[in-house]
Amino acid sequence: MAEVIHVNDDDFEAQVIKSELPVLLDFWAPWCGPCRSITPILEELASEMENVKICKVNIDDNTVWASKFGVMSIPTLLIFKNGEVVGKQIGALRKDDLKAFIESHI
């Protein structure tokens, strides 16, 4: 059973850019209501979907990569495949919609 991986500026490249699996990355912050609302959904999907790695970056504590990807609103969800961004979603989604977003990009 996989779980959501909390990534920081130091291990971002190893966990996301160099991942062999596609990655759904959630840029979030603890004070963000919509961010908190999708956390249980991300945890469920991490345990259900073996073909994608689900990661979170707290933008309050880790600003480098959020800045590099121009994150202006949260939650911002990016899908990486072979180190490249192949999908972007700003704002929270219901579980079915989030799963469809992931599947359409991996």
55 belongs to the catalytic site = no
- Which one is catalytic: 16, 25, 35, 42? 35
Tell me how far apart the terminal alpha carbons of the chain are, to the nearest angstrom. 20
Beta-bridge partners for 58: 28
Distance CA 40, CA 19 (A): 23
32 belongs to the catalytic site = yes
Residue 16 DSSP class: I
- Which one is catalytic: 16, 23, 25, 32? 32
Write out the two tokens for 11: 């291990």
Catalytic residue list? 32, 35
